[in-house]
Structure 1
């Protein structure tokens, strides 16, 4: 089933244009929506999830006209917001049983079977009797995935799910998402480039409510092959290099020098060396190219 978004716009009462005539088409698999904080990612996620209405535009999922038939979309939707909320002092098993009842799974045997399945998928079965309120951040995020899987969703939306997780929890969470994202459409919203690189077969970069680039991680880096250059500079020379070159990023070396990454069609000068493109480079190039539009 394809998700098709056409001419979607949303301006809030404070004048902020969160979605600016946005067009996007997403198929089955893991789709990464990459952008900085305030780019419009959460606004787009909430609009697709029918939690807010756009000013204009169209959203189609399969044969469902989402904006005209919210309930049909919600029946096949799994949604994990950026903040899932406060948990009551209930075990994961009991809380999932409650959610399953709310989602219309009336048969007790059927509920028990689906709860066992989602707990196993999310690696929470061994702690099913523990109160969710006492789970770690990563476990709570995996529980969020477990609850959204109860109705066997065809469209899954997760908004900034790895923010605040330690590396081990992040790795476990991404593995769970990777497993559930094989047979349905999963939109994975994040500002962490590494998450998209590890997880997604397709991606888009969003800023200012507009899609700046729609591609695959592999194609995105191939496009800039031979156009990324690095040079070691003194910290005091950074501003001068920013004026001279298209500096994408920089990082400190142990000796307190800086390693800068530059985007250029040709070798900027003899003291630069060629570097293998990274998805971070693609992201920073798209944002830098968008800067004149934001300031005009």
Structure 2
């Protein structure tokens, strides 16, 4: 496995645990991280990117220990943070070239060849001379992915890459991310459950800094099998009125309820709802 995490903890202050004994693994392909706000997704991504140091537990990234081999790991990973911090006065080429210099690509000709390669890979060759401030939100996200692909990294970390994009832009991103994950390990942190369903071969659901589920998306969906139904009134653990005027509910169905095929979203909501009830109990 490219990523092996065991018992990882990270606290902010004395009482706030962003991660609380998290364990999971990730291999080649697109691996999804799902979870509500405050679940620990961004903290985990920053730990995997070696930006933060864990308080406890262990990590092996690409077979190496970040506590002692951080520089070697960084040479083999690409990272798109949730807020990339673009210098908006740079052109696309200038920004990606700047990141390439930070990645210790010293030979100017070879570096520029690599910059052009990643810009072309994300479909921005025609706008490489444009200022970043003149680009759409989707194009700026693609600039972020381009810099993350510098040097053919074996591990790519993407924190909310499709946030705020329109449906057409998100479809472009899905195609791009699926290509990236063909021969390397991609960890995709997202709130977009449909992106996980479309892209990921494996998913980890975080809840309160721990793993509430780890497995294939279809295995996640199966958790709601027989526990998703339609009813004329509000019932169950979670329930909402559909456009047809009936309630779609998840939880333990009452007698006579019409069972329906669950979605990954149904299972995700069921999992988080039950975790909340267990924690409250």
* Contact 2:230–2:246, Cα closer than 8 Å, also in 1: no
- Structure showing greater radius of gyration is 1
Residues 1:94 and 1:86: Cα distance change in structure 2 (over 3 Å): closer
- Aligned-residue offset at 1:7: 1.0
Q: In the superposition, relative to structure 1, how do residues 163 and 25 fare at CA in structure 2: closer, same or farther (>3 Å)?
A: same
Query: 1:68-95: per-residue Cα shift (whole Å, max 9, x none)?
Result: 2211111111111111114231221222
Residue 75 of structure 2 corresponds to residue 52 of structure 1 = no
Could you tell me the TM-score, scaled by structure 1's length? 0.89
2:125 maps to 1:134: no
Contact 1:11 1:55 in 2 (8 A): yes
1:42-191 to structure 2, matched below 5 A, reads 42-191=42-191
Shift of residue 232 of structure 1?
A: 3.8
In the alignment, the residues of structure 2 paired with residue 218 and residue 252 of structure 1 have an alpha-carbon distance, to the nearest angstrom, of 24
Secondary structure, counterpart of 2:247 in structure 1: strand
| Segment drifting more, 28-37 vs 59-68 | 59-68
Deviation at 1:250, TM superposition (A): 1.6
1:227 Cα offset (Å): 3.1
Q: Following superposition, which runs of at least 4 residues in structure 1 exceed 6 angstroms of deviation?
A: none
Consecutive unaligned residues in structure 2, runs of 5 or more: none
Question: Is 1:290 aligned with 2:275?
Answer: yes
3-state SS of 1:22 partner: strand
Structure 1: runs of 5 or more not aligned: none
Deviations 1:123-160 (A, max 9, x none): 11111111112111111111100011112111111111
Q: Do the aligned partners of 2:86 and 2:95 also contact (CA within 8 Å) in 1? A: no
Where in structure 2 are the equivalents of 1:16-31 lying within 5 Å? Answer: 16-31=16-31
Partner of 1:268: 254
How does the TM-score come out when normalised to structure 2? 0.94
Tell me how far 1:261 sits from its aligned partner. Answer: 2.1
The answer (yes or no) to whether the contact 2:39–2:209 under 8 Å persists in 1 is yes
RMSD: 1.7
For residues 63 and 253 of structure 1, the distance between their equivalents in structure 2, rounded to whole angstroms, comes to 50
CA distance in 1: counterparts of 2:232 and 2:111, whole angstroms: 60
